A and B are shown apart, each in its own frame.
Chain A
Amino acid sequence: MNVLEQIQTALNEVAVGAEGRELTNELNLSDLGIDSIKYVELLVRIEELCDITFDESDLGMESLRNIGDLTALIEKTLSQQVG
């Protein structure tokens, strides 16, 4: 599964109406009804699905606003943990 598919899987579990919705980089998490509690649940689920641990300095709703931000963070974390 690629990164976008992992995000889709996590979103389907956490966000209302995410299933079947096209995930563009510009799509804001708040547009999917992700509040602060769901945001945490989403990050936890992605960590489990991708078997990664995000660096705390990268987390925060202010810096992770949309799907593009999330994809970039997962790819960066994956490359650091492989490296």
Chain B
Amino acid sequence: MSLWRVLEQSLRAHGHQPALTRPDGTCMDYAELLERVETLSAKLGAFIPAGSRVAVVDEHPFQEAIQVLALIALEVTVVPLAYKYGEQRCIQIIQHTRPDFLCSSTSSLVSEAILEACRAAGTVPAIGAEPPSGAPQGAGASDGSPAEMPASFIMYTSGSTGKPKGAVLTHANVLANIEDIRTYFEVGPDDHILINRSLSHASVMTGEFLYGLIYGARVTFYTESFVPRRLLSFMETNGVTIFCSTPTIFYQMALDRSDYRAPTLRKVALMGEYLHKQVSLKINERFPHVEFFMVYGQTEASPRVTYLPSRYFTVKESCIGTTLPSMEFRIVDENGHDVVRGEPGELLVRGPNIFWGYWDQPELTTVKLRDGWLHTGDMVCQGEDRYLYISGRKDDMIIRAGMNIYPREIEDVLLADERVREAIVFGVADPKYGQKLHVCAVPYVEGGLTPADVLDICKKKLATYQYPDAVDIVQQIPRNAAGKIMRRQVTV
């Protein structure tokens, strides 16, 4: 059954149950949501042909969510643009994906720079579901889209080469992952899920938004900036029962000086970064009534791969648990041979949730996806208890507050500045951030560069989550005998 059929069945079956909270705080029920989605998909379907790629951007995730559902109903490929990460990021995604249409319920976010990117990419803006006027010739009939590519999501994630990459997740991938999540993280019509991250993350799209709607829960988007006390207060006032987050966010909530305990909260999934022991203990101490799960995944797996049952949450440090029921795994050495149990190696996973490939980057797809096996780049070992334990990354990727950051993205920006002779970026373990982002920079001229200058360079070109947490101006960066920068040896 298609993703839309499964969603439609749920939207019909849950009729007058609360479904989606409007921006004014009132709640739309499932019957009304279905009506809104069907009306919008009929309007959009009048000019968006099957097989199109459609980018979505909206001011409020409520509107974005309805657009996404309408596009799923049309069985087209959806490209969520994360406006939160800046206009530059949206433009980069438009340039790379060359969507046929850009949908937004309002013109407020569609700036002149975004319109210019649309013109260059042959993308037709469709604002307020109105049929576009004066569409350029050829627009709307997806160019360059591989004929065999099914209806999908293209989810952008950080790239090791400094440019974001678009993982194509088919509707079938997402549905398979939802069925797997159901085996350990049950939700139902009595639940109220609070989402405080963007729908452009696969874990939010699959594991929170679509998952919640398919099983009849109420879904609310939290749009305020994160302040633990206010978020806890919101949870108490609104009876939130389910929350998915990074350890960074939840640790800050556990440390808050207020008396809030979120008594209705019953399940929390933590993901996206290493869970330090002191963090799990503190969280459990503050919220003893909550069932916690540590989950591990990657965008390319739609995204969930493993989960650690709640009973082991504070017991097994660095453990990511076991793979989901429909998945297989291998742990291999650098020659691709399976390691002996207990030895570390790269985690490879296979299953119906593994992505279709990267959009328009076949070489990269070949590296990441071989014979159906996703090469995660994560180093793990299998313990005697058969659970998987994570030991690090095969590459230099840093995970700061749940966001993946490749050092090269930042180093390239710094090195493009005439004051910077050399720069190196690396992560340092930190319980509050998972890893903190450190920069060591060598100036061309002694005294010609300050930490504040480095921050200013980053602010001009990078997203806020890529700003450094610490900057050292040094005279020399350590290298090995071959002259290669030793990223892991850099200490502060």
Residues of chain A at the chain B interface (Cβ within 8 Å): 16-18, 21, 32-33, 35-41, 43-44, 47, 53-54, 56, 59-62
Q: Does B248 contact A (CB under 8 A)?
A: yes
Q: Does B212 contact A (CB under 8 A)?
A: no
Contact of B471 among A16, A32, A47 (CB under 8 A): A16
Contact of A17 among B227, B433, B471 (CB under 8 A): B471
Shortest CB–CB separation between residue A14 and chain B, in angstroms? Answer: 9
Q: Does B458 contact A (CB under 8 A)?
A: yes
Contact across chains for A17 and B450 when beta carbons are under 8 A apart: yes
Q: Which residues of A contact B230 (CB under 8 A)?
A: 56, 59-60
Shortest CB–CB separation between residue B438 and chain A, in angstroms? Answer: 10
Contact across chains for B233 and A56 when beta carbons are under 8 A apart: yes
Q: Does B128 contact A (CB under 8 A)?
A: no
In Å, the complex CA distance between A53 and B257 comes to: 7
Q: Does B429 contact A (CB under 8 A)?
A: no
Shortest CB–CB separation between residue B283 and chain A, in angstroms? Answer: 15
Contact across chains for A16 and B470 when beta carbons are under 8 A apart: yes
- A-contacting residues, B220-248, CB 8 Å: 224-230, 233, 248
Q: Which residues of A contact B255 (CB under 8 A)?
A: 44
Contact across chains for B467 and A17 when beta carbons are under 8 A apart: no
Contact across chains for B257 and A36 when beta carbons are under 8 A apart: no
Q: Per-residue 0/1 for B454-486: is the Cβ within 8 Å of any A Cβ (1 yes, 0 no)?
A: 110011000011011111000000000000000
Shortest CB–CB separation between residue A2 and chain B, in angstroms? Answer: 22
Shortest CB–CB separation between residue B458 and chain A, in angstroms? Answer: 7
Contact across chains for B227 and A43 when beta carbons are under 8 A apart: yes
In Å, the complex CA distance between A61 and B227 comes to: 8
Q: Does B432 contact A (CB under 8 A)?
A: yes
Contact of B228 among A40, A53, A62 (CB under 8 A): A40
Q: Per-residue 0/1 for B422-466: is the Cβ within 8 Å of any A Cβ (1 yes, 0 no)?
A: 000000000011000000000000000011111100110000110
Q: Which residues of B contact A39 (CB under 8 A)?
A: 225-227
Task: Give the residue name and chain of the B residue nearest to A48 (CB).
Answer: B257
Q: Does B252 contact A (CB under 8 A)?
A: yes
| 17 sampled A-B residue pairs with Cβ under 8 A | A17-B451, A17-B452, A17-B453, A18-B452, A35-B467, A37-B226, A37-B248, A40-B227, A40-B228, A41-B432, A43-B227, A44-B255, A44-B257, A56-B227, A61-B225, A61-B227, A62-B224
Contact across chains for B257 and A16 when beta carbons are under 8 A apart: no
Q: Which residues of B contact A21 (CB under 8 A)?
A: 452
Q: Which residues of B contact A40 (CB under 8 A)?
A: 226-228, 252
Q: Which residues of B contact A53 (CB under 8 A)?
A: 257-258
Contact across chains for B454 and A17 when beta carbons are under 8 A apart: yes
Task: Give the residue name and chain of the B residue nearest to A40 (CB).
Answer: B252
In Å, the complex CA distance between A57 and B404 comes to: 32
Contact across chains for B452 and A60 when beta carbons are under 8 A apart: no
Q: Does B401 contact A (CB under 8 A)?
A: yes
In Å, the complex CA distance between A40 and B248 comes to: 11
Q: Which residues of B contact A56 (CB under 8 A)?
A: 227, 229-230, 233, 258
Shortest CB–CB separation between residue A22 and chain B, in angstroms? Answer: 12
In Å, the complex CA distance between A38 and B225 comes to: 12
Query: Are A62 and B452 CB-contacts (below 8 A) given A33-B467, A40-B252?
Result: no
Contact of A62 among B225, B256, B450, B451 (CB under 8 A): B225
Closest 3 CB pairs of A and B: A17-B452, A17-B451, A61-B225
In Å, the complex CA distance between A35 and B453 comes to: 17
In Å, the complex CA distance between A66 and B454 comes to: 21
Contact across chains for B225 and A16 when beta carbons are under 8 A apart: no
Q: Which residues of A contact B258 (CB under 8 A)?
A: 53, 56
Task: Give the residue name and chain of the A residue nearest to B452 (CB).
Answer: A17
In Å, the complex CA distance between A21 and B161 comes to: 35
Contact of B452 among A16, A41, A44, A47 (CB under 8 A): A16
In Å, the complex CA distance between A60 and B226 comes to: 8
Shortest CB–CB separation between residue B255 and chain A, in angstroms? Answer: 7
Query: Are A54 and B229 CB-contacts (below 8 A) given A17-B455, A33-B459, A40-B252?
Result: yes
Shortest CB–CB separation between residue B442 and chain A, in angstroms? Answer: 17
Contact across chains for A16 and B401 when beta carbons are under 8 A apart: no
- Give the interface centre of B227, B228, B256, B432 by most chain A CB atoms within 10 Å: B227
In Å, the complex CA distance between A52 and B465 comes to: 29
Shortest CB–CB separation between residue B278 and chain A, in angstroms? Answer: 16
Shortest CB–CB separation between residue A25 and chain B, in angstroms? Answer: 19
- Give the interface centre of A16, A47, A53 by most chain B CB atoms within 10 Å: A16
Shortest CB–CB separation between residue A16 and chain B, in angstroms? Answer: 5
In Å, the complex CA distance between A17 and B452 comes to: 4
Task: Give the residue name and chain of the B residue nearest to A43 (CB).
Answer: B227
In Å, the complex CA distance between A37 and B459 comes to: 16
Contact across chains for B229 and A35 when beta carbons are under 8 A apart: no
In Å, the complex CA distance between A32 and B464 comes to: 11
Q: Which residues of A contact B248 (CB under 8 A)?
A: 37
In Å, the complex CA distance between A36 and B85 comes to: 12
Q: Which residues of A contact B432 (CB under 8 A)?
A: 37, 41
Shortest CB–CB separation between residue B254 and chain A, in angstroms? Answer: 12
Contact across chains for B225 and A37 when beta carbons are under 8 A apart: no
Task: Give the residue name and chain of the A residue nearest to B224 (CB).
Answer: A60
In Å, the complex CA distance between A39 and B401 comes to: 13
